[in-house]
Structure 1
């Protein structure tokens, strides 16, 4: 039996994502917020990259609806706003990666502090949120990939007792996906991709906090790795590879998992399918571990 309230939330989120995205495209074109082609990118023309604006405003609307029953959403909404705005500014002019990292850590602390976690657990979780925030940005290199991974991850929140926020976030992202996949008419931009990483990781911790308060560090690390999934794995591999090559870990290249899968399959579509399946498997493993620990 489908819950009517969840269905309406999902429907509202989907239509918001689908109908507001054309407005964000016009805004991006007007203010020249465009992704330009270069040697490490697969698109060949100028692409508006303001779709994150749709997801940010949609999330804030949901937060206004949910704040009466979940007061801590104020902190998550503030953190999400910081993450989105710093990314949106970076879409217009390049900012220092250290400035972005510092603000991501601040936003992560805002999400973690209300949860009442033990100090070491809280520290690890704040670092994890900042890492996932950046990881979703780094893996956003193929049409539909970042959004599809976010949809799969948000759907997993339903199994942790956070179905309303999981449904509305996944539905809004699905509405935006219609404009980003398979043929993109807009990109998320740094503002959008980092926002997705932040929203999933922050709401995962909010939902899982009662269990996280009573587990050891080893179990915590395993859970965070499994729920971080492919974006976190890709980031760890990319950073390790760049450091071993004597480069900055922030140096962009074409050695990400999606690049390698496109080389193996010869198709961006199959690269997305493979990574979404791998993400789903990682989430399923995380849910199994979580169920045993709860």
Structure 2
């Protein structure tokens, strides 16, 4: 136990201490985020903060030195993600180049043998994926990597939501005795928490794509190792529940852009955090609300994994209903916003 406590502290302190140096490097080399109509911040901000998360994580990782048959391809894929993230923070790469890098990283992992060979679903039990295992695994890695990247829109949002998701994964990994997954998750939590001290509103530095892509990539990997490889009837649903905030935000963004006849990669101001801000919530309150949502989904996943089949169905049904109502009310689809309209009318009358 002392090994993991020390490893946690090493990652936490290394991340904390490296942020000022990373910030200085970002400013020196012009790796900064400029204000624009689509962005919330009103001043130039350094955006290489994810490098502090990476340094903190690997500091603790080297100390504990966990082993896994897929360790080298996972690390090699991470290196590609890190390079893509740094280059994008500096030069703002096109989505095609970023996607090519993510595909390369995912391919290295998949062709090393780390794939989702089957999934367990209620009623259907074990479903073999066959040749689809390669496509499914690559889509999962790329999808989660980009989902975390997309929610990085407010101070402390991506880092906080990721930490909450990691806490749920850590709890379940410990219960199931998955020590490699638990170790990686613990160190990611520590390094992200250290960075969050400087990133929470009002932020002094952004994690940038360097951080959000790195977190998304590793969360996708540990979810494969921790859930898809487990022999439970809910192995497919649990990671989706834990990662509901980035997954559903990405899902509604795709639907919204298709309905508006926009490119899927086109940016907009209708993400979850944008909609909450438009309702009148402050920057800090919006982030805390989304933290609460993330905690709700994480706790739901834990309850879901330890309950009967019919109760599991009830939980899923209630969550899907809640997600649908929330999306309609706050305008995640991007067409109708009845709650916003009602509030504006009441405000104008008063």
Task: Settle same-fold status: TM greater than 0.5.
Answer: yes
Q: Alpha carbons of 1:123 and 1:285: their partners in 2 closer, same or farther (altered >3 Å)?
A: farther
Whole-Å Cα distance in 2 between the matches of residues 160 and 260 of structure 1?
A: 34
| SS of aligned partner of 1:115 | coil
Whole-Å Cα distance in 2 between the matches of residues 204 and 66 of structure 1?
A: 20
Q: Alpha carbons of 1:16 and 1:274: their partners in 2 closer, same or farther (altered >3 Å)?
A: same
**Bigger relative CO (Cα 8 Å, ≥ 6 apart):** 1
Q: Alpha carbons of 1:102 and 1:224: their partners in 2 closer, same or farther (altered >3 Å)?
A: farther
Q: Alpha carbons of 1:229 and 1:176: their partners in 2 closer, same or farther (altered >3 Å)?
A: same
- Please tell me whether residue 111 in structure 1 is matched to residue 124 in structure 2: no
- Please tell me whether residue 146 in structure 1 is matched to residue 161 in structure 2: no
Deviation, structure 1 residue 209: 4.2
Aligned to 1:251: 266
Aligned to 1:160: 173
Aligned to 2:279: 264
TM-superposition CA deviations, 1:167-213 (whole Å, max 9, x none): 2111111111111112111101111111111111111212224316x
Aligned to 1:85: 83
Match of 1:135 among 147, 162, 168: 147
CA contact (8 A) 2:33 2:46 kept: yes
Match of 2:244 among 225, 229, 241: 229
CA RMSD of aligned residues (A): 2.2
Whole-Å Cα distance in 2 between the matches of residues 124 and 286 of structure 1?
A: 22
Aligned to 2:7: 9
Whole-Å Cα distance in 2 between the matches of residues 54 and 280 of structure 1?
A: 25
Deviation, structure 1 residue 40: 1.0
Aligned to 1:211: 230
Aligned to 2:297: 282
TM-superposition CA deviations, 1:227-265 (whole Å, max 9, x none): 321011111111111111111111111100001112224
Higher helix proportion? 1
Match of 2:29 among 28, 31, 45: 31
TM-superposition CA deviations, 1:207-226 (whole Å, max 9, x none): 224316x76xxx56533422
Whole-Å Cα distance in 2 between the matches of residues 167 and 223 of structure 1?
A: 19
CA contact (8 A) 1:91 1:190 kept: yes
CA contact (8 A) 2:227 2:238 kept: no
| SS of aligned partner of 1:110 | helix
Aligned to 2:257: 242
What runs of 5+ residues in structure 1 fail to find an aligned partner?
Answer: none
The worse-fitting range, judged by mean Cα deviation, of 83-92 and 70-79 is 70-79
Deviation, structure 1 residue 291: 4.7
CA contact (8 A) 1:50 1:187 kept: yes
What runs of 5+ residues in structure 2 fail to find an aligned partner?
Answer: 118-129, 175-180, 310-350
CA contact (8 A) 1:63 1:73 kept: no
Whole-Å Cα distance in 2 between the matches of residues 286 and 88 of structure 1?
A: 33
Deviation, structure 1 residue 62: 4.0
| SS of aligned partner of 1:275 | helix
TM-superposition CA deviations, 1:85-142 (whole Å, max 9, x none): 1121011112221221232122223334433542434432321121111111111110
